[in-house]
């Protein structure tokens, strides 16, 4: 992120056409600053604070829109630009000259005389002749040598990047040509995409449209590196879904290639249709012809999960047409790509049909019907019908624009097409109302944050900056893989099963350089005598094996660990492993909830963990006026996508001891499992976790697998062993969130009051229990946010042959809360009532809350949900926006909006937690806590609480102590009973343990302070500690805080309103605005809690919309990298993102009346899903779409995630055909839809 914005600043400041900005700012615009990080990923912040930082460099930024102001401003005073750090483009650091000299020397060396060929290496020919000599040499082997320019393609085809030698052709001048002429532009094959954009932007209409589309390909930093030629070559040789090939095909481009020393100039279409080129074929350049602008229409289209954020298209298209003076099509080119074929193609039959025709609805209808016959995704393509529908939508949009351009405005038949940011928008008349003018893809994002600060416990309650923020921003923070490799360190990589249930008969390797570097393969037989084959275990709920032995029980299970001299060789060897399987005498695998139920394969839940029913279901159903029976909803899995994948370093020590550096949320559990695996006492195992690069539950139980694997290898080989999983392996083995299938029956009165609910809940747990037995309690707990009258349920925890599902942020709660909303919305549809009316009707009063939640309900004064929900859902602003949404939907055919308000109730549990505070002789303070810093701001809050706890000894209340406090890493031999960092309450319980420790120290130091004061000696902190040290006062105190038996849990409340816009033609959803209201109690640090609220919400948005954690028919994860798995990015979060922290009534049973903020806000993201349902309902009503079991426009099943294909299918895959048939039948004089 830092490099992305720095690059954008440098580029902007070099632009000569812009006026100089005011002092302290850059020439960059706010929109450019935001776009600069559009391809970067962040899983913690929700992007808003990062975006604010980027925008703060811009002179055109709205200062009131920066979140920093909520901490700086007082009351209604105007924002003050002088508080922003000043920026001076002339004062930024430059690349050190000595490093430039070293790089130049290294490049000169490899570019010098003939390079000696070794087993592996990187070669830089300076001419085509030198390249040919390398091709002709004896060592050139296409299986071990890769031709590259920037090698960004390895990010897509990771498993194919198993080469020993690379030839870098970027230094060949002939491949970097730029030739402009009256006939067109020739672009050298190794020019970057960014350079091509720069060249094409300064051209005619066709060139500019190509440049505009290229700006939506990949991301800024990839475009700056990736080459035009590399993209085209991948499209030719591999089934690569290239946008560039498609748009250049439509523009009539040609390519020049070198084959066996011969130059050939052929059309791009011919080039793509050839058999895959061999590695010796060289693409020299691409020529884009000059088309002019008279009578030429050129448009490009793409539908992708993100408008700008590095996402491959479901379908891309580009169309070029020349029309005559009488508005007939003289010539036309229709190019389609990415829909499930090997390369981009031209729809020749459709082109032939359209030539010489004048565009009308009937002609468009025939064209799209013909297109459907010619665009045929290959077998195995995901969502084939959706992709065909997209192709139809794009052609419809383009031909509609031709029809409109050939008609007088008064006679246009509303086929008014425009294309914005990769999303088709064919619209009817737009209302002049300002609200309806919002551009869904407008940048920059707007936001507002509201909170109240308190000085009562200062510095607790202050929005101080996050501890270690500078280290993280500068890249100096040390994570496990940053620890320098110890002497003789070895590296490991997992070999995992690709079969769901099979005997493992043997492991072999393909002959390669990597296989020659393999030291050994660690398997179950290498576990020390007395040890166990155990990879994880939790609370006596059950264990999971470290190695498949002798049967692999799921696809993705660890079979063995390759140990090699480097991490790269370990990766390569693991990918080249050939595993022999046998399914003899084994039952077919159980992969789904349905399979599990059919074969009665379950895990049991202990009675004390099971949730309790409420009321009498049969009586409640008998009181109902209406009933919905056996309705169904499904929720799929979600991957953690922490930025730091699973990693560990194991160092063997004397006397059967071992030290493990682990990225773990539960170091104590890691110590436990490693000790059991090795068969040694717990005190022989030291686990150290300084910080974790994102966890979200994935570094809890799952982190023990990699720690154990490293430990077994290190123990056997008596050498340090480290492992850092590549993203694909991590995604395949991670497990993730629990998929669920729910059937429900509900009874309700005519006014919407629900009287009874029954659930049949199926939870796919995977192969081992992990935390799955805890899930029913969490699911039902979140579901109980409404008063169902009577509630009963039947839960089945399904044992299946897939990776074990584990805790992921808000485990069970996010599903349970969503299930509740699905039921509420179903009831509203059945009664044709407003959904918020049903919600309000069934919210608890305090008496019913106490019945459903028992002691967790707390005091009546702390029940804030009804107030919060009313503040949003009953406000004049909400009603006005709802009216505007209705007006918009009446005025727009091809885009629909929806708005929804969702309440949440989230129960959290308090756990015993240790803390230790030690004051050094110089007055500096070291603090240890049981929790681990995983990005949630634990260390920051602990520092504040330490300063507050010792503040009685300081005249300023402890604020002077903040800079003296250091929170140190978790160490299982130093801090025992550390517990685990999960459940959202670790920060507050760690703070309370620290406060108790400080109280002990204060009692010890008070007499010395009073003695000094009695002598009229100024009591400076350093002097106080020096006096205590000389007096042999114990300056270290430890506390083990345990919650009050009557207060082990409490409820969190929140509400959110989200407004979305759905593109009926593509299924794309834009979140126009989200307003979050969250009860944070008396926040320990409002800045940290605000970040948690926003980040959690955005992670929830990913779960409900785009994150499709798909598997194949064997249960093996196939969406296994950034290419196929799409978390939210800058361009998919709410365009207006407002957060208010609600300060509820004080409750001294909580830690300084604070509340948790890490997980509950994630559940608020259901408001986006519910708003999408409203928009889809409007689309179905518009086009009379009746699908699903209910055969109704209003009632339908919208599962999770609601991806673009899902949304489009519910809106209607054939809406274009329906519309065209209707207006064609209405006759040629039809002018309005």
> Would you tell me how many other CB atoms lie within 10 Å of the CB of residue 6?
14
Asked if residue 1208 is part of any domain, the answer here is yes
Residues counted in the chain: 1233
Say what the pLDDT of residue 955 is: 83
Tens-digit pLDDT profile for residues 823-880: 999 999 999 999 999 999 999 999 999 999 999 999 999 999 999 999 999 999 999 9
Question: Angle, to 10 degrees, between the axis of helix 667-678 and the axis of helix 703-717?
Answer: 40
Q: Is pLDDT at 493 greater than 90 in this prediction? A: yes
Tokens standing for residue 543: 């264990």
Say what the pLDDT of residue 63 is: 83
**Known binding residues for [2Fe-2S] cluster:** 42, 44
Determine the average pLDDT of the residues in 685-698. 98
Query: If you search the block for the tokens 């230790």, which residue do you land on?
Result: 916
Residue pair 32/12 in contact by the 8 Å Cβ criterion: yes
Within 114-242, strands assigned E span 121-123, 145-148, 165-168, 178-181, 184-188
Asked if residue 440 is part of any domain, the answer here is no
Say yes or no: 931 and 1069 in one domain. no
Residue pair 782/812 in contact by the 8 Å Cβ criterion: yes
Tens-digit pLDDT profile for residues 1172-1228: 999 999 999 999 887 766 667 788 999 999 999 999 999 999 999 999 999 988 766
Say yes or no: 1151 and 1134 in one domain. yes
| Least confident segment among 401-410, 518-527, 551-560, 644-653 | 401-410
Helix (H) or strand (E) holding 938: helix 938-949
- Buried b / exposed e along 1030-1054 (16+ C-beta atoms within 10 A): eeeeebebebebebeeeeebbbbbb
Say yes or no: 877 and 931 in one domain. no
Tens-digit pLDDT profile for residues 743-766: 999 999 999 999 999 999 999 999
Asked if residue 1157 is part of any domain, the answer here is yes
- Could you tell me whether strands 685-689 and 658-662 are parallel, antiparallel, or unpaired per DSSP bridges? parallel
| Least confident segment among 150-164, 227-241, 389-403, 1020-1034 | 150-164
Say yes or no: 1052 and 1199 in one domain. yes
- Could you tell me whether strands 329-337 and 345-346 are parallel, antiparallel, or unpaired per DSSP bridges? antiparallel
Dihedral, 257, 258, 263, 265 alpha carbons, nearest 10: -10
Q: Is pLDDT at 14 greater than 80 in this prediction? A: yes
**Known binding residues for FAD:** 243, 283, 302
Helix, strand, coil percentages (3-state) for the chain, rounded to 5, are 35, 20, 40
Tokens standing for residue 1022: 């350093």
| Least confident segment among 533-542, 858-867, 928-937, 1084-1093 | 533-542
CATH of the domain at 10: 1.10.150
Sign of the Cα torsion 222, 226, 230, 232 reads positive
Side by side, the strands of the sheet bearing 178-181 are 178-181, 184-188, 282-289, 254-259, 262-267
Provide the β-strand partners of residue 759.
744, 793
Tokens standing for residue 1063: 């593109």
Structural domain count of the chain: 4
From CA 675, how far away is CA 657, in angstroms rounded? 10
Share of the chain above pLDDT 70, in %: 94
Tokens standing for residue 1039: 């506390």
Say yes or no: 1056 and 1073 in one domain. yes
Tokens standing for residue 614: 């409420």
Q: Which candidate in 644, 988, 1059, 1159 is catalytic?
A: 1159
In angstroms, how far is the first alpha carbon of the chain from the final one? 46
Quick one: pLDDT band at residue 1232, thresholds 50, 70, 90?
very low
Query: If you search the block for the tokens 């975006």, which residue do you land on?
Result: 51
Mean pLDDT of the chain: 92
Asked if residue 537 is part of any domain, the answer here is no
Contacts of 933 by beta carbon, 8 Å cutoff, 6+ apart: 467, 468, 690, 691, 692, 939, 967
Within 785-853, strands assigned E span 790-799
Residue 613: phi and psi, rounded to 5, are: -70, 165
> Would you tell me how many other CB atoms lie within 10 Å of the CB of residue 880?
11
Residue pair 660/688 in contact by the 8 Å Cβ criterion: yes
Determine the average pLDDT of the residues in 914-937. 97
Asked if residue 1145 is part of any domain, the answer here is yes
Domain boundary among 83, 116, 139: 83
Q: Is pLDDT at 683 greater than 90 in this prediction? A: yes
Q: Is pLDDT at 257 greater than 90 in this prediction? A: yes
**How far apart, in Å, are the Cα atoms of 236 and each of 217, 304, 310, 1151?**
18, 21, 21, 62
Highest mean pLDDT: which range of 95-104, 200-209, 1224-1233: 200-209
Residue pair 1233/1221 in contact by the 8 Å Cβ criterion: no
- Could you tell me whether strands 754-766 and 577-582 are parallel, antiparallel, or unpaired per DSSP bridges? unpaired
Determine the average pLDDT of the residues in 57-69. 84
**Known binding residues for Mo-molybdopterin:** 665, 696, 809, 983
- Residue range(s) defining the domain that contains residue 1131: 858-909+1048-1224
- Buried b / exposed e along 655-679 (16+ C-beta atoms within 10 A): eeebbbbbbbbbbbbbbbbbbbbbe
CATH of the domain at 897: 3.30.365.10
If phi > 0 it is left, if psi is from -120 to 50 it is alpha, else beta; for residue 1090 that is alpha
Say yes or no: 896 and 977 in one domain. no
Tens-digit pLDDT profile for residues 933-951: 999 999 999 999 999 999 9
Tens-digit pLDDT profile for residues 991-1036: 999 999 999 999 999 999 999 888 887 789 999 999 999 999 999 9
Quick one: pLDDT band at residue 165, thresholds 50, 70, 90?
confident
Say yes or no: 1123 and 1009 in one domain. no
Question: Angle, to 10 degrees, between the axis of helix 775-783 and the axis of helix 813-831?
Answer: 40
Say yes or no: 1137 and 1030 in one domain. no
Three-state DSSP class for residue 492? strand
In angstroms and rounded to an integer, the radius of gyration of the C-alpha atoms of the chain is: 32
Model pTM score: 0.95
Q: Is pLDDT at 268 greater than 50 in this prediction? A: yes
Asked if residue 207 is part of any domain, the answer here is no
Three-state DSSP class for residue 638? coil
Domain boundary among 1041, 1061, 1096: 1041
Say what the pLDDT of residue 309 is: 66
Say what the pLDDT of residue 1 is: 87
Tens-digit pLDDT profile for residues 1135-1167: 999 999 998 878 889 999 999 999 999 999 999
Say yes or no: 1014 and 966 in one domain. yes
Query: If you search the block for the tokens 């030698």, which residue do you land on?
Result: 165
Say yes or no: 1025 and 1114 in one domain. no
Asked if residue 904 is part of any domain, the answer here is yes
Contacts of 608 by beta carbon, 8 Å cutoff, 6+ apart: none
Residue 598: phi and psi, rounded to 5, are: -65, -35
- Could you tell me whether strands 145-148 and 165-168 are parallel, antiparallel, or unpaired per DSSP bridges? parallel
Domain boundary among 992, 1016, 1041: 1041
Tens-digit pLDDT profile for residues 146-157: 999 999 998 888
More confident residue, 926 or 380: 926
Asked if residue 1028 is part of any domain, the answer here is yes
Say what the pLDDT of residue 415 is: 46
| Least confident segment among 89-98, 345-354, 664-673, 683-692 | 89-98
From CA 637, how far away is CA 703, in angstroms rounded? 19
Say yes or no: 1118 and 1197 in one domain. yes
- Rounded to the nearest angstrom, the gap between the alpha carbon of residue 775 and the centroid of all alpha carbons in its chain is 23
Q: Is pLDDT at 439 greater than 80 in this prediction? A: no
Concerning whether 1159 is annotated as a catalytic residue, the answer is yes
Residue 413: phi and psi, rounded to 5, are: -100, 40
Say what the pLDDT of residue 57 is: 94
If phi > 0 it is left, if psi is from -120 to 50 it is alpha, else beta; for residue 735 that is left
Quick one: pLDDT band at residue 75, thresholds 50, 70, 90?
low
Determine the average pLDDT of the residues in 368-372. 97
From CA 716, how far away is CA 1182, in angstroms rounded? 68
Say yes or no: 1082 and 1188 in one domain. yes
From CA 480, how far away is CA 466, in angstroms rounded? 20
Q: Specify the DSSP class assigned to residue 951.
A: G
Residue pair 501/586 in contact by the 8 Å Cβ criterion: yes
Quick one: pLDDT band at residue 84, thresholds 50, 70, 90?
confident
Residue pair 1080/1141 in contact by the 8 Å Cβ criterion: yes
DSSP assignment of 676-723 equals HHHT--GGGEEEEESB-S--TTTTSSTHHHHHHHHHHHHHHHTS-EEE
**Known binding residues:** 42, 44, 243, 283, 302, 665, 696, 809, 983
């Amino acid at each position: 992120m830092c490099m992305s914005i720095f690059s954008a600043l440098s580029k902007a400041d070099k632009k000569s056409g812009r006026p100089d900005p005011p002092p302290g700012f850059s020439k960059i615009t706010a929109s450019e600053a935001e776009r600069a990080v559009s391809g970067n990923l962040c899983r913690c912040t929700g992007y808003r604070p990062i975006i604010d930082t980027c925008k703060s460099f811009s002179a055109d930024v709205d200062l009131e829109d920066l979140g920093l102001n909520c901490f700086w401003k007082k009351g209604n005073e105007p924002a003050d630009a002088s508080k922003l750090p000043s920026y001076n483009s002339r004062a930024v650091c430059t690349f050190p000259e000595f490093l430039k000299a070293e790089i130049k020397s290294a490049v000169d060396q490899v570019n010098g005389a003939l390079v000696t060929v070794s087993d592996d290496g990187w070669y830089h020919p300076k001419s085509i002749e030198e390249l040919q000599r390398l091709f002709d040499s004896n060592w050139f082997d296409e299986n071990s040598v890769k031709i590259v320019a920037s090698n960004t393609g390895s990010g897509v085809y990771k498993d194919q990047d198993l080469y020993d030698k690379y030839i870098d052709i970027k230094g060949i001048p002939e491949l970097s040509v730029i030739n402009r002429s009256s006939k067109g532009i020739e672009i050298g094959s190794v020019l970057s995409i960014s350079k091509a954009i720069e060249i094409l932007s300064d051209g005619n209409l066709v060139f500019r449209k190509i440049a505009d589309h290229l700006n939506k390909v990949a991301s800024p930093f990839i475009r700056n590196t990736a080459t035009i030629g590399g993209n085209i070559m991948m499209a030719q040789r591999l089934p690569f879904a290239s946008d560039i090939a498609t748009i250049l095909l439509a523009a009539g481009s040609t390519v020049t290639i070198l084959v066996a020393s011969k130059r050939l100039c052929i059309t791009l279409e011919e080039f793509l249709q050839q058999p895959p080129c061999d590695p010796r074929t060289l693409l020299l350049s691409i020529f884009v012809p000059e088309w002019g602008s008279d009578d030429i229409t050129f448009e490009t289209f793409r539908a992708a999960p993100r408008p700008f954020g590095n996402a491959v298209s479901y379908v891309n298209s580009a169309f070029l047409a020349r029309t005559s003076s009488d508005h007939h099509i003289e010539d036309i080119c229709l190019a389609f790509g990415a829909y499930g074929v090997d390369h981009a193609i031209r729809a020749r039959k459709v082109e032939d049909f359209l030539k010489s025709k004048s565009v009308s609805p009937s002609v468009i209808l025939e064209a799209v019907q013909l297109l459907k016959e010619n665009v045929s995704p290959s077998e195995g393509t995901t969502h084939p019908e959706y992709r065909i529908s997209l192709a139809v939508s794009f052609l419809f949009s383009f031909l509609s624009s031709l029809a409109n351009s050939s008609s007088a405005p008064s006679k246009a038949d509303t086929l008014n097409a425009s294309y914005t940011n990769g999303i088709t928008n064919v619209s009817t008349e737009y209302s002049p109302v300002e609200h309806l003018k919002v551009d869904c893809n407008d940048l920059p994002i707007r936001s507002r944050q509201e909170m109240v600060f308190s000085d009562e416990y200062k510095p607790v309650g202050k929005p101080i900056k996050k501890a270690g923020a500078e280290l993280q921003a500068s890249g100096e923070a040390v994570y496990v893989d940053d620890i320098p490799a110890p002497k003789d360190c070895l590296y490991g990589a997992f070999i995992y099963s690709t079969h769901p249930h099979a005997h493992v008969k043997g492991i072999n390797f393909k002959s390669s350089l990597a296989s020659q570097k393999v030291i050994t393969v660690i398997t179950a037989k290498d576990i020390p005598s007395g040890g166990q084959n155990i990879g994880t275990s939790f609370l006596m709920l059950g264990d999971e094996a470290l190695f498949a032995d002798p049967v692999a029980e799921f696809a993705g299970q660890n079979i063995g660990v390759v140990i090699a001299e480097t991490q790269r060789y370990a990766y390569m060897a693991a990918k080249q492993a050939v595993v022999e399987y046998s399914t003899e005498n084994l039952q077919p695998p159980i992969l789904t909830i349905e399979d599990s139920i059919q074969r009665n394969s379950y895990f049991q839940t202990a009675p004390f963990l099971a949730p309790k029913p409420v009321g009498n279901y049969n009586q409640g159903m008998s009181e109902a006026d209406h009933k919905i029976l056996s309705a169904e909803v499904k929720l799929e899995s979600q991957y953690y996508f922490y930025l730091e994948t699973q990693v560990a370093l194991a160092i063997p020590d004397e006397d059967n001891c071992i030290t493990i550096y682990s990225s773990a949320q539960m170091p104590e559990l890691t110590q436990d499992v490693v000790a059991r695996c090795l068969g040694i006492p717990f005190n022989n195992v030291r686990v150290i976790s300084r910080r974790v690069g994102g966890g979200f539950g994935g570094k809890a139980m799952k982190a023990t697998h990699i720690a154990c694997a490293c430990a077994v290898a290190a123990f056997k080989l008596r050498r340090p062993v480290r492992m850092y999983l590549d993203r694909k392996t991590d995604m395949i083995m991670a497990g993730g969130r629990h998929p669920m299938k729910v059937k429900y029956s509900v009874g309700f009165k005519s006014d919407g009051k629900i009287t009874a609910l029954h659930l049949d809940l199926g939870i796919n747990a995977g192969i081992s229990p992990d935390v799955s037995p805890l899930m029913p309690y969490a699911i039902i707990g979140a579901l109980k946010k409404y008063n169902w009258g009577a509630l009963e349920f039947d839960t089945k925890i399904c044992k299946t042959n897939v990776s074990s599902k584990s805790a992921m942020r808000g485990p069970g709660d996010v599903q349970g809360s969503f299930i509740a909303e699905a039921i509420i919305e179903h009831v509203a549809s059945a009664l044709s009532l407003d959904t918020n009316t049903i919600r309000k009707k069934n919210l608890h009063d305090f008496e019913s809350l106490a019945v459903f939640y028992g002691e967790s309900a707390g005091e009546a004064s702390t029940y804030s949900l009804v107030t919060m929900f009313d503040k949003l859902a009953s406000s004049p602003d909400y009603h006005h926006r709802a009216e505007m949404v209705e007006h918009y939907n009446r005025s727009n055919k091809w885009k629909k909006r929806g708005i929804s308000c969702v309440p949440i109730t989230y129960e959290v549990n308090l756990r015993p937690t240790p803390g230790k505070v030690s004051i050094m002789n110089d007055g500096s303070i070291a603090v240890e806590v049981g929790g681990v810093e995983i990005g949630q701001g634990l260390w920051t809050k602990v520092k504040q609480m330490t300063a507050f706890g010792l503040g009685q000894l300081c005249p300023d209340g402890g604020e002077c102590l903040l800079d003296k406090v250091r929170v140190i890493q978790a160490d299982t031999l130093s801090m025992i009973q550390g517990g685990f960092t999960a459940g959202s309450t670790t920060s507050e319980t760690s703070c309370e343990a620290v406060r108790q420790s400080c109280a002990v120290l204060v009692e010890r130091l008070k007499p010395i302070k009073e003695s000094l004061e009695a002598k009229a000696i100024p009591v400076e902190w350093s002097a106080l500690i020096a006096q205590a040290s000389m007096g042999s006062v114990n300056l270290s105190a430890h506390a083990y805080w345990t919650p009050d038996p009557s207060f082990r849990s409490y409820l969190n409340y929140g509400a959110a309103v989200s407004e979305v816009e759905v593109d009926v033609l593509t299924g794309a959803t834009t979140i126009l605005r989200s307003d979050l209201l969250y009860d944070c109690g008396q926040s320990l640090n409002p800045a940290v809690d605000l970040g948690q609220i926003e980040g959690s919400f955005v992670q929830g948005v990913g779960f409900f919309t785009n994150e499709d954690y798909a598997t194949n028919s064997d249960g093996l994860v196939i969406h296994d990298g950034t290419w196929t798995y799409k978390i939210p990015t800058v361009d998919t979060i709410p365009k207006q993102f407002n957060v208010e922290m609600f300060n509820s009534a004080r409750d001294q049973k909580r830690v300084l009346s604070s509340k948790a903020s890490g997980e509950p806000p994630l559940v608020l993201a259901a408001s986006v899903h519910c708003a999408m349902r409203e928009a889809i309902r409007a689309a179905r009503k518009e086009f009379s779409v009746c699908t699903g079991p209910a055969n109704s426009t209003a009632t339908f099943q919208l599962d999770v995630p609601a991806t673009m294909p899902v949304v489009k299918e519910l809106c209607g895959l054939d809406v274009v055909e329906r519309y065209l048939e209707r207006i064609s039948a209405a006759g040629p004089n039809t002018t309005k839809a």
